[in-house]
Amino acid sequence: MAIMSRQVLLDHLGDVEAAALLVDGKLEDVLVDGAGVRPGAIYRAKADRPMKGQGGMFLSAPDGQFFLRQVKGLKQGESLLVQVNSRPEPGKAPAVTTKILFKSRFAIVTPEAPGLNISRQIKDEDLRDALLEIAHETMEGDGFGLILRSSCAEAGADEIADDILAMRDLARAVIADASGAPELLVEGDGPHQMAWREWDADEVVSGAGCFEEHGVLEQIDELEHPEAGSMIIEPTRAFVAVDVNTGGDGSPAAGLKANLACARGLARQLRLRGLGGQVVIDFAPMPKKDRRTLEGALRAAFKADPVETTLVGWTNLGHFELNRARVRAPLSEVQ
């Protein structure tokens, strides 16, 4: 099997910070800095007013109002620490959570979930034992939880320990600063920081003009067209609509063939466009007996995708629904 080349490019789209991941020259992922608060930002907020009928509460923060769902025992006027966990839908307040995570390249510190855990993707028992030893040494006496990520498999012990300590110290400082007026305590990561945190690469290229030099701008321009192969992707205010067609193929298996191609490529297309929320797919006509095969292809594609996606299932009209986390800025915001 040929080894694929992975390049990370750090540049800007206009005045907006952006990062791109190329795999063998093909655009595999792109991150752009959108308007408003960034997911991952941590605030000290104040409980403002309950949202009747929805079991939630609006919170006051320096950057506007937030919405918190889990409000048991929370009183109006009370200060609390929250973390932005998704980008807001148009016209709505950003959703936040009290379950704060301090996430870096190798480590995730979890103040609300004690325990030391290692990514299941790391199978080597000797390595797991060595990582547990590092975890015990760096987290001793804290009471915080720790998750060591799969990226630890390729890192040195000192590098991992330094990363853990940085996140642990940040967590200590933030948790100790829970009282007071509403304030931004930790900014969410921008595209360049997220690229360092989430992407492995053989080469990192940075600087103005590297997108153009490596063909990223040309590939991004192609995304402006709603048609991608056998499917058309069109964001609306309420949901993302995906229409699958067979083109000129009139064979009996044309529907299944086009639908499988969509299933394999949809995660990438949504990822590159930064689309989230409800996704409704109008698949090409095919026998109902082929639905299980199609669902398997969808599960496999989205399992490998970094954005959390729930496969909701089939509607009475024969459409398929997905629910995708809104954690990225739509590429359309900067085009």
What confidence tens digit (pLDDT) does each residue in 250-299 have? 787 889 999 999 999 999 999 999 999 999 999 999 999 999 999 999 99
Indicate if the pLDDT at residue 124 is higher than 70: yes
CA distance 109 to 164: 8
Query: What would the mean pLDDT of 202-231 be, rounded to a whole number?
Result: 89
Are 126 and 208 members of one domain? no
Are 63 and 93 members of one domain? yes
Indicate if the pLDDT at residue 232 is higher than 70: yes
Indicate if the pLDDT at residue 26 is higher than 80: yes
Report yes or no on 148 lying in a domain: yes
Write down the pTM of the prediction.
0.88
Residue 246 confidence (pLDDT) = 84
Query: What would the mean pLDDT of 5-23 be, rounded to a whole number?
Result: 95
CA distance 38 to 231: 30
Residue 56 confidence (pLDDT) = 87
Phi-psi region of 8 (alpha: psi -120 to 50; beta: other; left: phi over 0): beta
Domain count, the chain: 4
Indicate if the pLDDT at residue 97 is higher than 90: yes
Report yes or no on 61 lying in a domain: yes
| H helix intervals, the chain | 125-139, 157-175, 191-198, 210-213, 216-222, 254-273, 291-303
Are 160 and 200 members of one domain? no
Are 227 and 326 members of one domain? yes
Residue 189 confidence (pLDDT) = 95
Indicate if the pLDDT at residue 333 is higher than 90: no
- Residue 283 backbone dihedrals phi, psi, to 5 degrees: -70, 160
Residue 211 confidence (pLDDT) = 97
Residue 2 confidence (pLDDT) = 57
Give 3's pLDDT tier (boundaries 50, 70, 90). low
Report yes or no on 306 lying in a domain: yes
Report yes or no on 282 lying in a domain: yes
Are 159 and 209 members of one domain? no
Report yes or no on 229 lying in a domain: yes
Indicate if the pLDDT at residue 334 is higher than 80: no
Question: SS3 for 22?
Answer: strand
Are 15 and 76 members of one domain? no
CA distance 320 to 314: 4
Residue 75 confidence (pLDDT) = 85
Query: What would the mean pLDDT of 186-195 be, rounded to a whole number?
Result: 95
Token pair 């997911």 is found at 39
Where does a domain end: 124, 152, 178? 178
Query: What would the mean pLDDT of 92-101 be, rounded to a whole number?
Result: 92
Q: What is the pLDDT of residues 140-183, one digit of tens each?
A: 877 899 999 999 999 999 999 999 999 999 999 999 999 999 99
Report yes or no on 87 lying in a domain: yes
Indicate if the pLDDT at residue 1 is higher than 60: no
Are 76 and 161 members of one domain? no
Residue 252 confidence (pLDDT) = 78
Are 75 and 140 members of one domain? no
Are 158 and 112 members of one domain? yes
Higher-confidence residue: 46 or 73? 46
Query: What does each C-alpha distance from 139 to 102, 142, 148, 167 come to in angstroms?
Result: 14, 6, 12, 10
Q: What is the total residue count of the chain?
A: 335
Residue 229 confidence (pLDDT) = 64
What's the mean pLDDT when you consider all of the chain? Answer: 91
Indicate if the pLDDT at residue 53 is higher than 70: no
pLDDT > 90: percent of the chain: 77
Are 80 and 107 members of one domain? no
Are 156 and 246 members of one domain? no
Report yes or no on 326 lying in a domain: yes
Residue 142 confidence (pLDDT) = 77
Which residue in 87, 83, 77 sits closest to 44, CA to CA?
83
CB contact set of 97 (below 8 Å; sequence gap of 6+): 68, 70, 82, 83, 85
Range of the domain at 77: 42-99
Range list of β-strands (E), the chain:
6-13, 16-23, 26-32, 42-51, 56-61, 64-68, 79-84, 95-97, 102-103, 107-110, 115-118, 145-148, 183-186, 203-206, 227-228, 231-235, 240-244, 277-282, 309-314, 320-324
Report yes or no on 209 lying in a domain: yes
CA distance 90 to 237: 8
HSE on the CB side for 280, CA within 13 Å?
13
Are 126 and 56 members of one domain? no
